[in-house]
Structures are given as structure tokens and as C-alpha cells.
Structure 1
Amino acid sequence: MIRCLAVDDESYASDIIAAFINKTPFLELVGTTTNAFEALNLVQEGKVDLVFLDIQMPELTGIQFLKICGGKCKVILTTAYPEYALEGFELDVVDYLLKPISYERFYKAALKAQQILSPPQYEVIAAPVASATSDFIFIKGETKNKFIKVNYDDILYIEGLKNYVSVYTASQRIITYQALRELENDLPKPPFYRVHKSYIISLDKIKMVDGNTLYIGDQSIPVGETYKEEFFKVIRERK
């Protein structure tokens, strides 16, 4: 069992995490606390394997906590503020959960922790979710050290424009300075496929395919000759 501690300055938030821990077979709840220093003491005493840690706390921030604990436990960050994600991953957190947190997303993060913390003799618990891999990507912003978090499920299609790439979601268009090929290598396949020298699409978002043209929302996207054989093979397999 992985010994877990839920740390949040709002007790209702730590209670939610505690309920999720109790619901997960390979996790054991050590306790909950709204006091980051109390949490540090438990970690230093070796009583905790995994901390679910809020970032925004009044006495000691989650980032400060990470730097002080010095790798004596693994940490999954919980917060309503996505801008801290990159710094958290640079400090080797297991995962980053954005509030409000669903149990499905919590379980994915817990599975990552299990892969890291569980010794070989532990029984591997079958997951009720499809995958434990990340379901988002950080896209370079228009300034240095700016990264925009985009959920894979929100991406409709991606268009390459010379040295720039436009990422289209239902609510926004994100322009990033990088090659389409570079971004293509970072995206999971499926659901993302290159269908043209200038386009990558999400197979899940296709509304219709008509000849060598596919439609996502109101946008028509050509299927290039080079990519046609693989694309229609995938379409036929999904029938």
C-alpha cells in the first residue's frame, strides 16, 4: 500500500482527496491536514510515501514545500492555478491535478505514483480508466518561458504556417513558433493524425469525410496525397 497524505488549507478540499484515497485499493490514507508544516514533519519522519499537495497555502506554498522536503516523498500537486504546472514538473512531481478534480483524473495520477513507488511484489491493480498517460500538452507561448496547457480532448485540428503552428480548439486559436513536425512527434497517435503537409487533425473531432476532404466543425481540411492511404486505412478500421 502507498501511504498518502492530503494537504490543503481548505479542509473540504483535503476531504475530497481523502475520499478518493479511501476509494483506491492500492492507496492508504495516513491523514489530512491544513498545515503545511505538520505535513513536513510527517514526511521527515518517514510516515508518508505520497503527498497530495495544494500549491496556494498561506504559511508555506506547495513549491516551497517541494524544495524543503528534498525528495523524501513523491508529490502530486492539486491547485486551481495552471500557471504553476511547469515549475512543478521541473521539481519532479508525479502529476498535476487541476481543481475541480474528478475521480477518473485522480486515478490516473495515482497509477503514475504506483508505477514509481510500488515494489515488484505489489499486486498491480487493474485500472478502471483507459490510460495512465498525460491527457494534455504544454504548447510554447509567444514569449520566453511561457507555456499554455491544452487538453488533448479540446484540440480540433492544427495548421502549420511556415515556421508557425496554429492550434485550434472550440474556444481559441493558439499560435506557437515551432515546426508542425516537432509538434506532431509530441502528440499521441491516435487520435491525432497528419493528413496533409499543413494539417494535423483529431480523429475524434471529424464530422464527415467526403472524398479527399474532411470536415471538423465548419472547417474543411484537404487530405494530402502522401497521407491519403494511411488516413483512409484508419477510417475503414474505425467503421
Structure 2
Amino acid sequence: MKAIALDDERPALDVIEAFCSRIDFVDLVKTFTRTGEARIYLESNPVDLIFLDINMPKESGLAFFKSITQQTLVIFTTAYSEYALESYDVEAADYLLKPYTFERFNKAMQRAQARWRTLQQINSQNLSESEPTQLFFRADYGLVKVTVADIFFIEGLDNYLKIHVREGQPVVLRLTLKAILDKLPATKFIRVHRSFIVAIDKIQSIRGRMILIGEEEIPIGSSYEKDFFSLFMK
């Protein structure tokens, strides 16, 4: 597991580095004392796990984790027990109360590894199929299953997106449109706008540069128009 650590106190990072060096299934690739630096790093470097202090000076660890678009596991570290309940609201793998022993740290890592392996197995299963029929995403308190055939369109909203499905409320995820497009069958979905991906077989009509799906009108962006009509006419 590739990991980073974020804490405003250097001694706390030294402890995490020392403990990680004793566990063979984790690679601590970077440490940070500021949330801004960590956010920039995560924009271009995927990781599996973040060790994250909650009580940071400018931005809390909880607020930071909610703001990033990358889907990654998190183990919160803090000296304040009152944050424990809120950490579970964002599906933390574990919550370490400072000062913690190596034994307690190792237990947290075992939990994170078990969850990571489950996600790896699900992703491998999806990749092994030429066109996956179901996708799994981290959301709320666990994994959410989305049936590919039920997706009408996907809407990007800042650091979140909404998957509009056949029945029920849209599925809201902390994920980018680019990341989810990589998971979808390329012959069935296409990005038509900087804020929209559509299911080709759900398109009812096209009027000018507007796509009609159900009762929704979705614009076709000028930079996506050529690729869209090329695929749609096939």
C-alpha cells in the first residue's frame, strides 16, 4: 500500500515513519506538515492510504479529507478523542489516539489492509470483464453498487459527481468525471461536456447542441462535439 502522512508536528510524522518502516506491506512515500502541499501532491500522485492528523492549524484533517477528489483510505491521528464519531462519518479505516503504541498502530494497519484488499479484488473483477455490468464505489458508510445499465448520465459538480440512474435518487460520489469515465465501457458512455457524461443508449433525441435524456436536457460542449457525433452515428 502506498501511503502519505499529514501532521503539523514533525515528531508525530517521525513516529509514523518509524512504525511504517516495521510493516512490510506499506510504503510511506511522502510526509507533509501543511494541507496545501498535500493537496497539490494528491492531484497528480495516487495513493492508497493517508495518515491524517485532525487538529491542523488552518484546515482540519476532516475538512481536508472531505475536499480531496481522490478516493483513498484514511487513518486519522489526533490527541483529541471527541473527533472519533465524526471520523467514522467519513468512513475512516481507523482512529488513532495519540500517543499510540506500535501494537495499536499495527492493528490499524491490518484493518486498512483488509479494506484495501477488498477494494483491489472488486477492481480486479471489474477489469477482468470486457464490459463490467456493475461498479463499486466508496460512499457514505461503505461500498455502493451501481448497475451500469441503469446509468442515464453523470453530472460533475465541483469535487463531487452525481450518477443519475433509472430509479431512485442520484448516487453522489467524491470522484472526478475523468476517473469514473475510465471505469465505464468506452462503447456505451461518452463525455459530451466538461460537466457531463451520457449513456449513449439512453439518448432519446438531439436538438441542435442539446441531448434529451428523459426529462433532462444536456448540452454538448464545442470541444466534445466532433467525438460525440462520430461515436453516436455509429
TM-score, normalised with respect to structure 1: 0.48
The structure showing larger relative contact order (alpha-carbon pairs under 8 Å, at least 6 residues apart) is: 2
